[in-house]
Amino acid sequence: MKKRGKVVSFIEDLKNGATDPYAYVERALEEASRKDPVLNIFITMKSEVPDKLVNGKLAGVPIAVKDNIVTKGLRTTCASRILENFVPQYSATIVKILEREGAVIIGKTNMDEFAMGALGTTSAFGPTLNPINTKLSPGGSSSGSAAAVASGVVDLALGSDTGGSIRLPAAWTGIFGLKPTYGAVSRFGLISYADSMDQIGPMSSNASDLAYLFSIISSFDPLDPTSSHNPWGNRIEEIASKEPDFDLLRKLKLKIPRELLNHPQAEEYVIEEFWRKISTLEKEGAQVEEISEPILLKVPQVYYVIAFSEASSNLARFDGVRYGSRIAELEDNDWDSYYMMNRSLFGWEVKRRIMLGAFILSKGYYEMYYSLALKARAVIKRKIESHLKDGSLIATPGSLISPLPINYDATDLSKLNAIDAPLMIANLGGFPALTVPTGSVSGTPTSMQFVGPSWSEDKLLSLAKVMEEMFT
């Protein structure tokens, strides 16, 4: 195996007494202190190596955690002024798992405010820059987690994915990112954007470590009512350490939705590079079929209606009474003034989504928009399932466009809409989806996305290991 997981190798060396257990985290903290001032990766950082490491599957392994996952005693802001000073009194289940296995959280990563954005630029603490080219966006909303991995500060990070927020940053920074099956990873302690689509997932610099981290964090959690028992047993952990299975390619069936590749804003070189990689897989035995599903053109609209509605409901609690910073006191103002003044701490993108969501859910419009979107979502899910039921995977570019400038006008939705549809189908249907880097063209990373049927992460991660050997 040419590509060996850095984390997997470190853990093996640690078991054999061949490495310093503190070396990995010490190097990560040094890299973070050097690179964060330039890239703005972290909102809150730790500066000291722990006195004692917990002996576990991630003993001494540094990891970066997105700042919408609560951490006891460590500030959690969602990149918003309204939570600027929030220090949780409990940790998310996934954080407890990491700490139980000995991982060292070195910081909470920057992100689009409340995970709302695609460019990593809506954070109240300033944008994260792309380590490949600081003039470009790293993608959002898990911008800081992607930059932490791509810059070499850490080899593992956690992000969250509501409409592509793990996979787009992975595509634009040249790393691996997995959105798991809905319910595969506990969401207890994830500050919600849109509950029916939010999912925590791993990001990594290589496929083996991605599989290894996922094998640890995927488990049933009784505290999360959407959590499910996974069907893999030890299979995912075995994938992390074994040789790539090239026989997989001879059994691989790929379906490519024509509508998703024909977007008017899609960049020609991206599509050409995608087809070159598909051709290579085909020569190795993969079966490739183009499919047509016109309803996929409606995916962004359906997603926006549902996501904005859920966001409007979820963020109602941030009013300075139940949660959130307080810049006005109730005894000095009437309730309406008090409420509006405190919620002025939200950024413009969050306000926009809350207002649209509130409108959609209002009397007279609920049936017209929200109810109709739920029905359309069910149709989209059934259509995708019909194409995946024979064990096929849906393949698309990781992004139809190259990374946008960091100062791109986010009110111009033309290019942003080109990003959305290929990524959002996984969230609407609860399917697992994986972004795999496939090299670069003129210094710009290229990637592919694979969407599988529910609970097919073992197949996706096996394919990631094969493609890593072939293309990077």
Catalytic residues: 66, 141, 165
CA atoms of 303 and 425, how far apart (whole Å): 9
CA atoms of 281 and 274, how far apart (whole Å): 11
Handedness of CA 373, 186, 314, 116 (dihedral sign): negative
- Cβ atoms of 278 and 257 within 8 Å: the answer is no
